[in-house]
Amino acid sequence: MQELMFLGLFVLALAIGWFLGRREAIKVGFMLQPHGSAVDKQYFIGLNYLLNEQPDEAIETFIRALEVNPETVETHIAIGKLFCQRGDVERAIKVHQNLLARPNLTPEQGDRVQLELARDYLAVGMHQRAERLLEELADSGSSLRAEALVDLVAAYEHQHEWREAIAVGERLLRERADFSVTLAQYHCELAARAVQRRETAEAQLHLRTALKVEPLCVRALIMSAELQVHGGDYKGAARLLQRLAEQAPDFVPEVLALAERCADNGALDLAEYLDQALERATKPVVSVVLARTRQIQREQGAASAERFLLQRLLVQPSLSGVHELLRLRGPASPETDPLPELLEALVRARPRYRCDSCGFTGSKLYWQCPSCQSWSTVKPLKGHELS
């Protein structure tokens, strides 16, 4: 069904292009071919191929029949894009290369064809050719400059060439301010590499740059706090954790271990920190509620912890919370009461994170969504966790 729809749209696009080409020829006072000539015959041949379920031969015939002129360039570009979308990238490259060699293209049309050809090269992994074409567009005064920068930075990102991606990203940032979120992540990638090499000073430099580019970069805050704790600067780490609780309280569960270490070294009041995170979040992540429950249990006993948790569960039900409530009420034997064990299995199976862009869910926090490749869109699940 999809193949038939594609062919129908394809034939319609070619027919429109043919009509525009003939109209242009009439307008300038000549016809390249008289009516009923070889051009018309090519269309009849193409239709015959379609009727005989030979789509590849039909497409080739229609392309040969479609004259290339300023009126039909967009049709040819569309044909190339359709080939690329179908996975026939080699044919798309041929179409776009043929167009780019035409001397009668307007500058705007030439830029559009060059951009599409670069995308064809990227689709088959010919990155050097694609990068050369995209850099030419990015350095020109073309109206497609921003699109070329987007594709160019994506090409470097795909190859994990973070320094090159940053250089292009800084140019793109002048065109699109919202790219700061992604650019900060590139600096975090370089910081992660520096941490692996145990080059702490370089890692801290990249993280400071990331926070300068995007002050709300959660990853940079967490990585900076980890480096501070590793270096024994618990007060510095506590300041970063406070900043995280103020700006992104949903991510406090990711730093609970760091917060406890800071608290153990006298740099942070853990109860106050957790209360701050609960107060600032519109729908607190259950992990923070459970952390505060365990902290109350250590300081005030199980009864106080149970009261606190029950109050929260009445407002914000969750499987994790019910499981913790049963734990507070005392151990149960699986033979007499299998409910705690069943709840624990459900809690383990439940996803903890969701991508705001595509809906991907998982049990691990990714800074780049594995599904849609968006940066900083995967966030902790919160609210009513009943499923």
Is 248 found in the same domain as 141?
no
Instruction: Say whether 31 sits in a helix, a strand or coil.
Output: coil
Is 153 found in the same domain as 38?
yes
Q: Is residue 164 part of a domain?
A: no
Is 214 found in the same domain as 100?
no
The domain boundary, picked from 231, 261, 277, lies at: 277
Residues in the chain: 387
Q: What is the pTM of this model?
A: 0.76
Is 226 found in the same domain as 109?
no
Q: Is residue 163 part of a domain?
A: no
Tell me the CA distances in angstroms from 370 to 119, 190, 355, 386, one per residue in order: 22, 19, 9, 25
Is 154 found in the same domain as 6?
yes
Task: Give me the sign of the Cα torsion angle 345, 347, 353, 358.
Answer: positive
Is 216 found in the same domain as 144?
no
- As a whole number of angstroms, the longest Cα–Cα distance in the chain is 96
Is 148 found in the same domain as 34?
yes
- pLDDT tens sequence across 232-259: 999 999 999 999 999 999 999 999 999 9
Is 149 found in the same domain as 23?
yes
The domain boundary, picked from 255, 277, 299, lies at: 277
Q: Is residue 170 part of a domain?
A: no
Is 96 found in the same domain as 79?
yes
Check which CATH number belongs to the domain holding 49 and give it.
1.25.40.10
Q: Is residue 167 part of a domain?
A: no
Q: Is residue 168 part of a domain?
A: no
Domain that holds residue 204: 176-277
The whole-number pLDDT of residue 55 equals 56
Q: Is residue 171 part of a domain?
A: no
Instruction: Say whether 313 sits in a helix, a strand or coil.
Output: helix
Token match 């795909």: residue?
Answer: 158
**Strand-pair category, 353-355 with 361-362:** antiparallel
Report, as ranges of residue numbers, the positions in the chain whose pLDDT lies below 50. 25-39, 50, 384, 386-387
The whole-number pLDDT of residue 50 equals 45
How remote is the C-alpha of 306 from its chain's centroid?
41
- pLDDT tens sequence across 44-61: 555 555 455 555 655 565
Q: How many domains does the chain have?
A: 4
Is 141 found in the same domain as 28?
yes
Q: Is residue 165 part of a domain?
A: no
Q: Is residue 166 part of a domain?
A: no
The domain boundary, picked from 227, 246, 277, lies at: 277
Is 101 found in the same domain as 149?
yes
Is 94 found in the same domain as 7?
yes
DSSP 110: H
